[in-house]
Structure 1
Amino acid sequence: MATAQVLHMNGGEGDTSYANNSTFQKKVMLTAKHVLEDSIMRLYCSTFPQCLKVADLGCSSGPNALLLASNVINIVDALSRSLNHDSPVFQFFLNDLFGNDFNTTFKSLPDFYTTLQEEKGHKFGPCFFSGTPGSFYGRLFPNDSIHFFHSSFSLHWLSKTPDELSSDAVEAVNKGAIYLTRTSPPAVHKAYFAQFKEDFKLFLRSRSAELLPGGAMVLTFIGRDQNNELINAWVVIGMALNDMASEKLIEEKKLDSFNIPSYCPTAEEVRETVEEEGSFEVQRLETIRTDWVKNINVSEDDESVIDEEMRAEGVAKYIRAVAEPILKSEFGEEIMDELFRRFKDKILLLYGVHKLELPNLVMHFTKRI
């Protein structure tokens, strides 16, 4: 099945929906807010647009889909008031693949507008939203039409599994794993990195054509250490699937031939790819390291006491919200409950013994003149 058809988060507002299981992404976005503030201030002060056009690529669904808009509006509003300048009109484009649950986000817009009205008042510039479905690995907008692109936790997804690792390959080269691990053969890393470079270069070329002069981008995505020693969620899911294969709950052949269409690059690999493509200059590249288990909340109260069992359950729901659609398409819906029960048990065993953290790359790019 084509990646674009199954690559989306769990929709709706249920127990395992992305809308209710995305606090980790929100925390990283807030931690990286200083990069967004700096880039928006530079952009706005150099252009003073009457209508500021912003596109959020890979917006998904739920409250995080409107977090960028809220942050941009607050930054520009404060800056406009300090400069005694009229606030611009805001136009936000929300982009994701065709299977994304845009409806959940759009249903939350009335509350967003009400809050905006209460906080900013009648003199604040109008704010418009529209959905732009489609792959960001290609063109989404006309030439010279967007001031600012943003993407958070999306660009580690590839347009497809590398051909050498796909289920159609003659021989499985990453047996027993669904992702790049410490024990994967060098050919696996080579195939993943080649696909990442191809995709990311196309992304950069497309955004360069669409950006207005003076335009900029801030991108945040999951990175990887050079030595590949860290354990991420795909590694843990692979462990659980291996156990299920050994118990004949899934076909071992199916496990051996399945590889996630995702690649977490190192900071050096990102710089290399950007320099080779040539459309952008890297103004800033920071690494924000986060514990992907500790930073999962099971409630809105950051101070609430969460025991290990509750936290592991919360992590399982968070990962299920992200991974279930693509895993279900490969292994079937009937094993999902059992798979994520085992995933939770693996987290309980691993946490405190192994380092379960992610290096998140936060980048500010400007278009070359």
Structure 2
Amino acid sequence: MEFTRQFPMKGGMGETSYANNSLLQRKVISMTKPITEAAITAFFSTIAAAMPASLTIADLGCSCGPNTLFAVSEIISIMIDLCNAKKHKLPEFQVFLNDLPGNDFNTLFSSFLPRFQEKLSEQMKSQYGASAALACFFNGVPGSFCGRLFAQESLHFIHSSYSLHWLSQVPRGLEENKGNISMSRSSPPSVLRAYYEQFQRDFSTFLECRGQELVMGGRMVLTLLGRRSDNPSSEEYRQFWELLAIDLNEMVTEGLIEKEKLDSFNVPYYPPSPKEVRREVEKQGSFSIDCLEVFEVNRDVFETDFDPNVVSEEAANKMVGCLRAIAEPLLVNRFGEEIINEVFKRFRAKLGNCLSKEKIALVNIIISLKKIT
């Protein structure tokens, strides 16, 4: 499977689009703001004597929706506040929004960007007076971040949230993973090893490329889904994909999906442990680690009135919507569009039952890095 062509998030503004089903990702951006702020503050302390006329920011794996510009807004606001606190003249901002070529850049630039720019202008005037203005230039950058995207030493700050757990391709050597669609409790050791080795290749290449693109002392903050355990066969991250695999196997039994198609279908997804992330950073050598933390996100993200003793319809429906916006393009590509509604109808029923019996928490890893070589 050629990942760069076949796996953008679901575009548009429809009910099942990523733009309307990315509440989880927005919550994670908010939760990680203190670490982002610390990274930007540390960077500003190194350039205090020579503030550049232009600051360049890249958001890698930006997708399409309000979260894209929410992350950028947070970063720019932090930089503006630091400039004002240090009595620096505001620089111009160059913002690069990157995702796969199939990403819905049209909706991003036609629907979300104009509203963002208008809001940013109003914010500047309300805080700094009617004559206040901010020069902020936006560029779309289609392409895989598992390769070079920008000129050498052209970026000051890189942000990426909920992208790096996706692999550049389905690993080779998964023939024995039949009946599963990702790493599972029944996956043989060879499958777990293939997934890990693909993650090593991808993350090492990502670090090497970003090391070439960042200025010396530039910062990078990355957030990705992961696991606490060093054991790749642990069960802490697999609930959603295993439930989806059960649905697909049921549909094979009922003749709704071809068995051969399911047997050769695997998701290019690997949630690393903190130790695995640290090991690749230290081995690659371009960055020092300022911060590496693990945190959880629970189902309360999806509920307006959270009650830990009651599983609401709202939470279950929003969790299904979140996974569907992510997984639907992969499933459509392999099995066709006609089975999608049935897949997620079944998934919704199983998820509701699962939520009533156990806590489901998503483990996240955030790492803040400084370019040192």
TM-score of the alignment, normalized to the shorter chain, above 0.5? yes
- Is the 2:98–2:140 contact (alpha carbons within 8 Å) kept by the matching residues of 1? yes
> Which residues of structure 2 form unaligned runs of 5+?
126-130
**1:27 alignment counterpart:** 27
Rounded to whole Å, the distance in 2 between the matches of 1:284 and 1:194 is: 24
1:259 aligns with 2:263: no
What is the DSSP-based 3-state SS (H/G/I as helix, E as strand, rest coil) of the residue aligned with 2:223? strand
Indicate the percent of aligned positions where both proteins have the same amino acid.
45
Secondary structure of 1:142's counterpart equals coil
Aligned to 1:295: 301
Matched-pair contact (CA < 8 Å) for 1:87–1:124: no
Task: Tell me if the contact between 1:312 and 1:345 (Cα under 8 Å) persists in the aligned partners.
Answer: no
Paired residue for 1:65?
68
Deviation at 1:233, TM superposition (A): 2.0
**1:286 and 2:276 are equivalent in the alignment:** no
Q: TM-score, normalised by structure 1?
A: 0.93
Aligned to 2:326: 322
Is 1:55 matched with 2:58? yes
Segments of structure 1 that go 5 or more residues without pairing to the other structure are 166-171
Superposition pairs of residues 37-116 of structure 1, within 5 angstroms: 37-47=37-47, 48-107=51-110, 108-116=112-120
1:295 partner SS: helix
The CA distance in 1 between the partners of 2:306 and 2:209, in whole Å, is 44
Displacement of 1:307: 6.2
Cα deviation, residue 267, structure 1: 0.6
1:5 alignment counterpart: 5
Equivalent position SS for 1:129: strand
Distance 1:49 1:240 in 2: 54
Write the distance in 1 (CA, Å) between the matches of 2:133 and 2:150. Answer: 27
**Secondary structure of the corresponding residue to residue 301 of structure 2:** coil
Question: What per-residue deviation string (whole Å, max 9, x for no partner) do you get for residues 57-116 of structure 1?
Answer: 000001001012110121111112211221211110000000000111112222111111
Regions of 4+ moved over 4 Å: 303-307
Do structure 1's residue 213 and structure 2's residue 222 form an aligned pair?
A: no
Partner of 1:168: none
Which residue of structure 2 aligns with residue 248 of structure 1? Answer: 255
Deviation per CA, 1:124-172: give whole Å up to 9, x if none: 431110001100000001111001111100011111011112xxxxxx2
TM-score normalised by structure 2 residue count? 0.92
For 1:206, the aligned partner's letter is C
Q: How many residue pairs get matched?
A: 358
1:232–1:357 contact (8 Å) kept in structure 2: no
2: distance between equivalents of 1:158 and 1:50? 36
| Residue 258 (structure 1) shift | 1.0
2:162 aligned with 1:153: yes
Asked if 2 retains the 8 angstrom alpha-carbon contact of 1:232 and 1:358, the reply is: no
Query: C-alpha offsets along residues 209-236 of structure 1, whole Å, 9 cap, x if unaligned?
Result: 1111111100000002324222342222
